[in-house]
A and B are shown apart, each in its own frame.
Chain A
Amino acid sequence: DAGVTQSPTHLIKTRGQQVTLRCSPKSGHDTVSWYQQALGQGPQFIFQYYEEEERQRGNFPDRFSGHQFPNYSSELNVNALLLGDSALYLCASSLRVNEQFFGPGTRLTVL
């Protein structure tokens, strides 16, 4: 079992661009959550996907959107990137219970 995987590992974008991050959940997991972790901070909840629908959302603007596919993998899209979007983006998966497993994250740098 590969656990939760995320791609890419690192990404550099410029302000105004759009980015797509990808996550494959742990085998057997059906729920995917996304978090933003700024340097020196705890992860902040962005949203959660279950049965291909966004079920919960944190305090993030509409520039942040996502998708879950039938195979439970997920994408996080961020439009009109700002410098403040630079962070580690973490994906976590679970099987409808409260035990989330995290991936290694994607480090996004916005210049």
Chain B
Amino acid sequence: GEDVEQSLFLSVREGDSSVINCTYTDSSSTYLYWYKQEPGAGLQLLTYIFSNMDMKQDQRLTVLLNKKDKHLSLRIADTQTGDSAIYFCAESKGSGGYQKVTFGTGTKLQVIP
């Protein structure tokens, strides 16, 4: 089946690292994504990882994938107040013109100055 789960809330102090976790159930997922949504806005693609990779780093963002445990995490180094938002984990199946993306319920990140 298809189910993506995330914790609802995370609070960190400015300058600390944030780690947002996600678990998924579909082992046939091809890509896994992290999106950011600020209040009243659409979704911004932060980064994504192909399912045969273990890690991807992009500036302050590090994505870790444990395919055996179906666990995905997003680490934000040196978290800033501008990072306060809702972060969605998502998985996709299919390729090309046939793709279905399933989102988690989102983790609200609060950064305390």
Binding site for B on A (CB under 8 A): 4, 30-31, 33, 35, 40-45, 48, 50-51, 55-56, 58, 90, 92, 94, 96-105
- Report the minimal beta-carbon distance from A40 to chain B, rounded to whole angstroms: 8
Q: Separation in Å of the B42 CB from the closest CB of chain A? A: 4
Q: A41: which of B95, B101, B105 is its contact (CB, 8 Å)?
A: B105
Please, which residues of chain B bring their CB within 8 A of the CB of A99?
Answer: 45, 48
8 A-B pairs with least C-beta separation: A50-B97, A42-B103, A102-B43, A98-B31, A102-B42, A104-B42, A96-B96, A56-B100
- Do the beta carbons of B30 and A98 come within 8 Å of each other? yes
Docked-complex contact B88 and A42, CB < 8 angstroms: yes
> Which residues from chain B contact A40 at a C-beta distance below 8 Å?
105
What is the 8 Å Cβ interface bit string for chain B, positions 1-15, against chain A (1 contact, 0 not)? 000100000000000
Known: A43-B88, A55-B97. 17 other contacts (CB 8 A): A31-B99, A35-B103, A41-B106, A42-B4, A42-B88, A42-B105, A50-B96, A51-B97, A56-B94, A56-B98, A96-B96, A98-B30, A98-B48, A99-B45, A101-B45, A102-B42, A102-B43
> What is the size category of the interface that chain B forms with chain A?
20 to 34
In the assembled complex, how far is the CB of residue A63 from the closest CB belonging to chain B, in whole angstroms? Answer: 20
Interface bits B66-104 vs A (CB < 8 Å: 1, else 0): 000000000000000000000010101011111111111
Complex Cα spacing A94 to B4, Å: 22
* Interfacial chain A residues near B25, Cβ < 8 Å: none
CB distance A33 to B101 under 8 Å?
A: yes
- Residue of A33, A43, A56, A102 near B44 (CB, 8 A) is A102
Query: How many angstroms between the C-alpha atoms of A11 and B62 in the bound complex?
Result: 38
- Our pick among A30, A56, A105 for the contact of B42 (Cβ within 8 Å) is A105
